[in-house]
Chain A
């Protein structure tokens, strides 16, 4: 991996994944934009940061995750702010004209939002980034057992929450 990289190519290849992941954690477009801005600024100032990195996507997701966690910790005790954010937060999924599918996507978005952040993180990386448990454990710096258990609890809650809707539109 060369020390100098093309920042714009990096953006084109990874920004979409970083955006979806950060949005799932923060549930705020403004916060997500701040996270991406800071992340790419950091890369621009220190091009050698990616030197020796084998999995760039995983590295960038880790940076985004750490930034989102820091943000949530700073705001975590303010319940009123959290409620306001929840009301205004954009849907994580692309809107569709199919009403049944849209209802499913809205329900899925609500179910994900109800998950604890640690379970939501693992579920997102497993389902939409296609990462293995070992890769997720390495990214989040947790054990493999913890990764697997968080995923299991999270996916079970989603299944219970979405069972009625899933059976209808299956």
Chain B
């Protein structure tokens, strides 16, 4: 019998994989963005699981908004990456400081 705890475990493992991905790929912005998408997917699974097991549809509404914001953030992040790459010729971001000042 699949309980809420199963879904929460899956979401927790996905979350930690996403965090691990950000930690390991600090030089590669595309992989960092993909790891952020994994984190957001884990949060969505959490929201939907809670919504189903508590019988409240608010969780799914919020999951939809999380999806919207994640898509917008991915678009802007990739746009910034593209123009960064145009200027620099590489996407090594360990010492990115060109946007401040």
Answer yes or no: are A and B bound together in one complex: no
